[in-house]
Copies of this chain bind each other. A is one copy, B any other.
Amino acid sequence: MNQDRLSLTFGALADPTRRAILQRLTKGEKTVAELAKPFMNEMSAPAITKHLRVLVKAGLISKGRKAQWRPCKIEKEALKEVANWMDQYSQFWEESFDRLDESLKKMTMKKGNKNGRKK
């Protein structure tokens, strides 16, 4: 797997546990212990730590450095890069809708011409 930034981000998002961790952080900062809690029955602590490390490496989350605790939080930049990348495809969809619209118009016009044609 290539290690450019966008590839790292997509790679990090290619796992349901990591996406679930990210989603939990949309509700605010959380300690590693808080984040790990819902997954403790399914996986080991080192497995969760590894997932967090992948998210940090991809720039999707960061760990703060407060005296008593190190809360994790979302870093929006990496997500924005994904959103920007996606944008080129939303444009593509809109274009294909436009094309469909144009085809329908042509079909309607043809139908109109046909109906208006003298027999």
Contacts and interface: CB of A to CB of B under 8 A. Distances in A.
Contacts of A7: 14-16
Interface residues of A, number: 31
Interface stretch (A32-40, A62-70, A76-84, A109-117): A76-84
A13 B10 contact: yes
A100 to B, nearest CB: 12
Contact of A16 (B4, B13, B96): B4
Interface in A20-57: 23, 26
A69 to B, nearest CB: 22
Interface string A84-111: 0110111011001000000000000000
